[in-house]
Amino acid sequence: MSQTLFLGLDGATFHLLDDLIRDRPGQGTVMPFLKSFMERGFRAPLRSTPHPLTPPAWTTLVTGRNPGEHGIYDFMRADDRQTEVFFTLYDFRDIRCETLWSIAGRQSRKVVSLNFPIMAPPPKINGSLIPGFTPWRHLRRNMTPKALYERLQAIPGFHPKELAWDFERENEVGNDMDEAYLADWVRYHLPREKLWFEVARKLLVEDRPDLLAVLFDGVDKIQHQAWYYLDPGLQPDCPSPLHQQLRELCLSYFRNLDSYLEQLVALAGPEARVFMASDHGFRGSATIVRINRYLADLGHLVYQTLDGTAAAQRREASPFAYLNWQKTVAYCPTPSSNGIIIRVARAPGEPGIAPGDYFAFRERLMGQLYELIDPATGQPAIRDILVREDAFPGQATATAPDLTLVLADYGFVSIRNVSPPVGQRPRPVGTHHPDGVFLAAGPGIRAGATGALFPIADVAATLLHSLNLPIPEDFDGKVASASFDGGWLQRHPVRQGPPTLPVNRGERPSEAMPDSEKEKILAQLAMLGYLEE
């Protein structure tokens, strides 16, 4: 059985990749290996989850199940206690479905999983797992097996501060960073991505797993902050020297990434099947939709009156809206969610609308949301509104936002209490787009072929099929058969197997990290634009 290699490219989009692989007169190609990989393999656009956000999308990719089944919708979840709402970060214990790592591992396939989000505290697998999205001080106890950390220390220059999120370092910059700070931000990701490559190379060579999956997340982070310098459609005719320097820094990241991809594919060998995918795509967003301000104008949301105390000032500066929970009936918890939660009273006299009024209120609210106009275009600011039972069917439907907004430019909403409800940014910023990328090459893969759009849940099924394993009957995803050539599929027909194993829910063992570290994660999310300070 040949090896399967999965290379995750967080936020990768053909909109940029096709520009990065083209030949530039006198300059060559930024990503020559990726260019050759596409030419000798298969490519297709990949449709993300209904809300194309990192946690639900990657969780769908590694479970083969949609958010309505696995239950991850955002970076954090809200706990509504009627008179107060508390927020806590999602972690692995919140995932309601078995992961690809477990499915393959319990069928005698050795697995290595590196840098995927919502994987801490880590489950035991047949192989090695290092979660992403973890503070460096807690990385050692959040990887499995326990002896793995000591093995990594053999890598020259290894330090968890480079491998994991160094929040003190990253929080020196923010959404309004000037170009000098932005340059430092891009430079920071060069050694970090290199170390993830070194870890992947070490485990690939020493362990020879049946499946090695590594996520390179710098793609997403750099595009969020430096989209203006990357998007080929936004480049000025006469760029300033500093603009040119910043663009070159961004391109240097992609040159390095191209080298890492090439080396990992070479180490896997010619008999390996290699797959690459992103959790979502990217585009520019110029419009600001201040959704909570609009809900307040409609009378559905009431802001808390500040009393001037230090405690009130700290609360106002938090990344969440400072709301009067006795009077608020609909609100957006975070910009990353693009979701609206409708509060339903649990008993007469408690906050929220009456249970019998829910559907009528929701329908009226949707009509009001569609009436929100962008003055710059004269068109609706919201292109679509997803209701939870349609967008997120499954065992976790009740924990989804009641409404999920798709903005006209696919951007994230703002929850700041600023008027007017719709405004314009000075220049576009990078934001998520529903269409990401899927690439494949190796034995049995169609060469030089382009496929039609298919859903992200299909990736897990495709990887299992590459490992010669049956596809669980309760998967939402199917094998991306178009990526394999016909002869190979005849020799290796898709097989359906028993359903996935149930997972333990409700178990909340000792916290993997203290609240102080969680606050740093929240600050980092704010810096990337998923939350607002």
Residue-wise pLDDT for 383-411, tens only, equals 999 999 999 999 999 999 999 999 999 99
The total of structural domains in the chain comes to 2
33 in the same domain as 149: yes
pTM for the whole structure: 0.92
pLDDT the model gives residue 171: 45
193 in the same domain as 180: yes
- The boundaries of the domain holding residue 469 are 4-67+95-280+434-517
Whether 479 is covered by a domain: the verdict is yes
Q: Which of the listed residues 430, 454, 478 is the one where a domain comes to its end?
A: 430
Whether 11 is covered by a domain: the verdict is yes
119 in the same domain as 10: yes
**For range 201-227, the mean pLDDT:** 95
Whether 531 is covered by a domain: the verdict is no
Whether 513 is covered by a domain: the verdict is yes
265 in the same domain as 329: no
247 in the same domain as 146: yes
Q: Is the pLDDT of residue 17 over 80?
A: yes
259 in the same domain as 191: yes
pLDDT in tens, 315-374: 555 556 689 999 999 999 999 999 999 999 999 989 999 999 999 999 999 999 999 999
248 in the same domain as 345: no
Q: Is the pLDDT of residue 506 over 50?
A: no
* Residue 397, CA distances (Å) to 62, 92, 213, 431 in order: 19, 18, 29, 26
Whether 185 is covered by a domain: the verdict is yes
**For range 142-161, the mean pLDDT:** 92
Whether 529 is covered by a domain: the verdict is no
pLDDT in tens, 445-469: 999 999 999 999 999 999 999 999 9
Q: Average pLDDT of the chain?
A: 90
309 in the same domain as 261: no
Whether 389 is covered by a domain: the verdict is yes
**Rounded (5°) CA angle 53-54-59:** 110
Pick the residue with more confidence: 119 or 306? Answer: 119
pLDDT the model gives residue 237: 87
State the pairing for strand pair 76-80/42-47.
unpaired
At residue 510 the predicted structure's pLDDT band, cuts being 50, 70 and 90, is very low
371 in the same domain as 389: yes
319 in the same domain as 243: no
Q: What are the backbone angles phi and psi of residue 489, rounded to the nearest 5°?
A: -65, -35
- Residue 368 burial by Cβ neighbours in a 10 Å radius (0-12, 13-18, 19+): middle
Q: Which of the listed residues 396, 430, 464 is the one where a domain comes to its end?
A: 430
111 in the same domain as 245: yes
Q: Which residues contact 295 (CB under 8 A, 6 or more apart)?
A: 301, 330, 331, 332, 340
Whether 200 is covered by a domain: the verdict is yes
Q: Is the pLDDT of residue 160 over 90?
A: no
